[in-house]
Structure 1
Amino acid sequence: MTDKNIAQSEPVLVAIDISKARHEVLIAVPGKKRRRRLTVLNQLDDFNRLIATLSDYNRPVRVAFEATGNYHRALAYHLAAAGFEMKLVSSVALARTREALHNSWDKNDPKDAQVILHMMEIGNEQFYHDPLMRGTNDIQELSKTHDIVSKSKTELWHRILTHYLPLYFPEADRFHRSSRSDWFFAFLERYPSPHLISAMGKEEFIADAWTVVGRRVSKERLLADIYETAKTSVGLPVDADSDALRMFRLVLAEGRGLIAQRNHCPVVYVYIHEKGDREPLHRIAQRRHRLPVADLYTWDWTNQRPDHPGRSW
């Protein structure tokens, strides 16, 4: 009787090779040598069919897969919601195990499912915590979006520094202080060429650009310096209505949009209890630091300042 109970508690092992349109499933039932293969399309009906098939075994079910982009998230959520134990297989360990078992770099979906099942049998698995079920999905998306917008803004700013400014206004670089500042993009969008500035009188330019640069210390001196610099600029003398300047303005408008998006992204802070530190989560993610175990840290996002969106009090 005891042996029977122990046998009934042995889990059904399910190895899944994830792909975009369909998933290859390999099922190993305790006590049976023959393994069952299934192909599951990335559709709700197929997900429900797989869940029903696994539930019919009336045994605990342990599912393992290799994370593939975000294509695994939907299937993993539905299986976890059905009460199955979810495991993760390391991509590096999977590749090394496949080479060791088959003595070849060749791979295909059925073969990967076999290798994943072998790794499950020897216990070479990792924990999988579904972000939606664990309540960390919002935190994850906030951090990812902040990182994406910041990287896009940095890439665009480098493009401006290395392509557009050397062509049209090389001397303007020294007036720039921070890539987070919108005023410099707004100024270049208004005056993409120094010849547009030098065509105006000094007082006329200062009056016209007064509201563009925002609240600056010694604003009049700054604008006067820009005007004198524009008069001796070596920038290319392109026409104000040329396609070249129109493209420059298009890129600058994109940069201003990215700055606005970044300023409206709440900053997620992580409190690490061991160290007593408080650090933005996106910076930890950029350095690829591993967070400590879950009970040693908490998080929140900052209270937004109405005068400076995206900044905390």
Structure 2
Amino acid sequence: MTDITHSTTKPHLLALDVARRFNAVLIELATGEQRRFKMTNSAQDFDRLVQFINTTAGSWRAALEPTGDYHRPIAHRLLQAGVDVVIVSSVAQARYREAKFNSWDKNDPKDASVILDMLKHGMVMRYVDPMVAGHHDLQELSKTYYQVTRARTKVLHAIVNHHLPLYFPEMQRYWQTTRIEWWLRFMLEFPTPAHVRQLSKEAFIDQAWELVGRKVEKTAKLTEIWQMAEHSAALPHALDCLAVETFRVSLRQAQHLNELRRSLEQCAERVLSSNQDYAQLISLPGIGPIIALTVLAEVGDIRRFAHHRQFLKYCGFDLAKLQSGTHRGREQLSKRGNARLC
């Protein structure tokens, strides 16, 4: 019996190798005809591509490799145009390219052809647009919190590794927790031993009383600091010198980032207070508001996974084992899922 191929039922295929400024595009129409061109990440080029799709009869299927966030605008436009959008794994694409061309020869046109081949063979994954799925706001809140935390960590490392050895190295012993609001307040007021020793012990204790934490023996701690400041290894800075002011700049920056991070945490709790998935997540041991926010921001609707193993694989928590011949390695987490959830 002769096979009859209905070309009209085949979708048109679109492969996109996404970059920061230019995208390599490879189109294969249902008739087999291929078209290759380059487009910019601009509204004008998006409009031209969507116009071509709308004027070409038939269904469309597009595949792209997620690249930072540069793929998000073009993927959203394609979804709005009714195109079925899928993604290819970066690891799978690299291995497929090496197997196909027998070399590690990476360039945009070649990557586009690899993406097209993987699309034809079904070696793709579902793409979920956060804006269409409705969790774009959560994702941006989570990513902003992550960036603020990174900036805060960088500033705190600068304070500990650069400023403290020069200005007041003995205060390192009180650097104990990640929540160091009292420490920052104190150092802003007394950044060097000279600022401490310019006051008598009684005057220093009275002025610094409200700066230190509540659940401490304040008199003993402040007396210890006052005595410690008498023989400090710090450089002899003048009270009003420019160097001390630069130290205070870093302290204020850390203080601001602390406040910003706290406000983002409060915002997350307020936004997710009525979310049932959030309530279930924070009920688990070891999961707080920020981890729960990250999970919901990256996953979106958890119920879109048909099985819990699919969710574990998406997070990179599925088990993997190296096996070759008689050698069998130990099972361990693959850690090849979402980078922010691994």
Give the TM-score normalised by structure 2: 0.77
**Alpha-carbon distance between aligned partners in 1 of 2:204 and 2:238, rounded to the nearest angstrom:** 18
For residues 248 and 61 of structure 1, what CA distance do their matches in structure 2 show? 58
Q: Deviations over 1:256-281 (max 9, x none)?
A: 11101111113467549699637347
Verify the 8 A CA contact 1:273 1:296 in the aligned structure 2: no
Compared CA separation, residues 98 and 282, structure 1 to 2 (3 A): farther
Question: Is the counterpart of residue 96 in structure 1 residue 103 in structure 2?
Answer: no
Alpha carbons of structure 1 residues 225 and 275: separation in structure 2 relative to 1, 3 Å: closer
Q: Where does residue 17 of structure 1 map in the other structure?
A: 17
Query: Structure 2 matches for 1:25-36, cutoff 5 A?
Result: 25-32=25-32, 34-36=33-35
Code of the residue aligned with 2:151 in structure 1: it is S
Summarize deviations over 1:48-106 as a string: whole Å, max 9, x none: 11011112222111111111111111111111111111100111111111111112212
Change in 2 beyond 3 A, CA 1:24/1:281: farther
The one-character-per-residue Cα deviations of 1:129-186 (angstroms, maximum 9, x if unpaired) are 0011111111111111112212222222222222221222121122233232322112
- Given that 1:271 and 1:277 are in contact with CA atoms closer than 8 Å, whether structure 2 keeps it comes out as no
2:284 matched residue in structure 1? 277
User: What TM-score, normalized by structure 1, do the two folds share?
Assistant: 0.84
Q: Which residue of 2 aligns with 1:44?
A: 43
CA contact (8 A) 2:282 2:289 kept: no
How far apart in 2 are the matches of 1:30 and 1:61?
Answer: 9
| 1:236 shift after superposition | 1.6
Q: Give 5+ residue unaligned stretches, structure 1.
A: 298-313
| Contact 1:166–1:235 under 8 Å retained in 2 | yes
Q: Superposition RMSD on alpha carbons, in Å? A: 2.8
1:102-181 matched pairs, under 5 angstroms: 102-181=101-180
The 2-side partners of 1:276 and 1:135 are apart by: 24
1:252-311 superposed Cα distances (whole Å, 9 cap, x missing partner): 111111101111113467549699637347447989xx96972189xxxxxxxxxxxxxx
Contact 1:274-1:296 at 8 Å conserved across structures: no
1:220-262: CA deviation from partner (whole Å, max 9, x where unpaired):
3332222122123222211122232222111111111110111
Which structure 2 residue ranges, 5 or more long, are not aligned?
A: 306-342
Task: Give me the identity figure in percent.
Answer: 36
